[in-house]
Amino acid sequence: MTVAAPTKLAILLGKCQLLSPAQVDQLLAQQQESGKSITELVVDDGFAREDDFLKALAGVMALPYVRAGDLTIEKAVLERLPTRAIFQYNVLPMAMENGALRVVTNDPFKPGLMDALRMAAGVRIRLALSTGA
């Protein structure tokens, strides 16, 4: 039996230092079967609290971690994304930074996220992580 080489996602999750290699493998298998987000599975399986996981992930991915509830967002920033995209991708436009839209999410691994948001907003997208985005 051959062991598959670790995926980039598996390596990234391992670098968070919250999950054992066996837990990472379990999460990735569950994610394939269920279609749930990695964040949901980490929390549902009791491996870590959502905020602890996202803070660790933000550190590994060199993304800011913010408390979405503490943000004051200008109306013009909110209007950069259609309401449908905000709800479909469970994101929150946060701020315009050097011509790019900073968007808060709790699932940076959602397939097609960056492309869909870039097309909807018409500008580059930069992510930030937060619970309950």
The confidence band for 125, taking pLDDT boundaries of 50, 70 and 90, is very high
Reported as a single tens digit per residue, the pLDDT across 69-123 is: 888 889 999 999 999 999 999 999 999 999 999 999 999 999 899 999 999 999 9
Whether 7 shows a pLDDT value over 90: the answer reads no
Model pLDDT, residue 132: 67
The model carries a pTM of: 0.85
Reported as a single tens digit per residue, the pLDDT across 15-46 is: 999 999 999 999 999 998 998 999 999 999 99
As a whole number of angstroms, the distance between CA 11 and CA 46 comes to 20
Model pLDDT, residue 69: 81
